[in-house]
Chains A and B, each alone.
Chain A
């Protein structure tokens, strides 16, 4: 066992332990503000991640929406139903005009209990990946293989409570829908003649697609052809044989251009983007570019939140400074004694500065732990409640910056009390107390 000595570190820790309430309050304040800052930065990063998920391996998105940003918000994030359709002939002409890797038609507009429906082709599950490099996975059942089969996104399945084998009726637009049985009289926009059978439930992808239900494109066409025929007074069940060219509509086209092996980028991207843009009947969007634009819009808002968290952090540093500064009045004799024993002014300055750094470093580490635990709890809750997959881990770069910034603030906060300790008049503080 090594011989005992007294070290600067022990003196610092003893001073902190001599003021437990003040020490714990200041550490807690620093921890709370660091955790708040990290959570906000993490949320921004997670939100960015969540928006990045969903467009997956799409290069271009074509729709008839008013703008590329609206096209992305509607077509990938299900913000609203696209207002204008694209004809099947247009889809075919686009697909045949260039050797795309794939061109997947989509149609939106129907819903089930507020969950949006995406009608599409089998390629949507076979070729499109909601997250690049992460193909669709089934939690149970299978993908649809024929009309009037429906596959549920993870959050939609959880939110609706639907199980494999159950029947559902879709609603035109976002009105109320019901489960199984005969259509209700008051369900004006419900496609009550056509029950869909749940055949598959998807694993969560952490994207907006988790909230959607997926059906075969032809089913959707039949629903709307039936509406048309009803309006025309034609009776009887509508089948695919009754479809006319005007019934075959899509609201979006997901495009992937040819790429080199091992690369996600396409050399033809800009040229093809420009070519499609010349067609005034459609809009064409590069999802990644539009998501960036969206983040530029919202970054002002989260910048305000982050600025508020930084202000809280600075406030906690000021509290540290005040706590230390006020403690100096009661410690002048201790400092004078240390000076008599041989401690230099610089060493005393360093002791007080170290106290400030220990407080802020402890607070910062506790804050990181708090943010991590909070992130794990929030992530588990989000996944369990709405199926949203958010990575609870802290961004290493943000964490290092926050840690470094907090320690730097701690150093600054310690300067004034340390200067006061530096200037303690030794002889005057050794006298017997009056």
Chain B
């Protein structure tokens, strides 16, 4: 991806749930390559929904979503899934790791759907895990501490060298001290990999970590939410 290509461009996006009295409406939203943006707003305001629309997990009503130059909304089925696996990494509040699989296998799972040659998968996964401080790469994720599981989740999100990482309330269940540690980890890892980061949070304390903060409230039209 050329450095000048935005990591994310949203134009005239409209999305609403069936029978909902409100709608997401984003006339224009752009993130430069490698840019870190915090999307703030209270719980249930639609932050997660916007991330899911960007990831192509929900069909938008109108408009366009372009990730690293690829129109996600124009792709269908397997092509969209492949584009997501190649260009987008996702980090969740509860990590959503594959249970019964090792830390290494969780990272390899992200690589198996990427365009990266298979010969380089193990080295890439082990390097990432080692960089993020996971020594026991072959340990089952269920045997790791919560902090270690979060590191595995970050490694998995960055494994396929995505242009954009979507972090959905990654610190919502952590205390302030661990929130700092987790955000240090996520942001530094994204910087090291050159990935843009769109992070959602309802925690006002997070604003200080980001040069750019956007509010979801400005993207909602209609209805009393």
Using a CB–CB cutoff of 8 Å, the interface residues on chain A facing chain B are 2-7, 10-11, 14, 17-18, 333-334, 336-347, 426-427, 430-433
Contact = CB atoms under 8 A, between A and B. Distances in A.
Given A4-B108, A333-B96, A343 B57 contact: no
A334 B85 contact: no
B57 A427 contact: yes
Interface stretch (B64-72, B115-123, B210-218): B115-123
Contact of B94 (A3, A345, A432): A432
Contact of A5 (B78, B86, B118): B118
Interface of B: 48, 52, 55, 57-58, 77-78, 81-82, 84-86, 90, 92-94, 96-101, 104-105, 108-114, 118-123, 156, 160, 168, 172-173
B77 A345 contact: yes
A2 B117 CA distance: 13
B84 A432 contact: no
A344 B121 contact: no
Contact of B84 (A4, A17, A336, A342): A342
A344 B82 contact: yes
A430 B122 contact: no
A427 B58 contact: yes
A211 B88 CA distance: 79
**Chain A residues touching B, majority SS:** helix
Given A338-B109, A426-B57, A427-B58, A4 B85 contact: no
Contacts of A431: 48
A339 B81 contact: yes
Given A3-B122, A430-B92, A341 B113 contact: yes
B111 A6 contact: yes
Nearest to A14: B100
B119 A432 contact: no
9 contacts: A5-B111, A6-B112, A7-B112, A333-B96, A338-B98, A340-B55, A340-B84, A343-B81, A426-B57
B109 A341 contact: yes
A3 B123 contact: yes
Contacts of B156: 341
A304 B70 CA distance: 62
A340 B114 CA distance: 12
Most buried by A among B55, B81, B101, B122: B81
A414 B137 CA distance: 33
Nearest to B100: A18
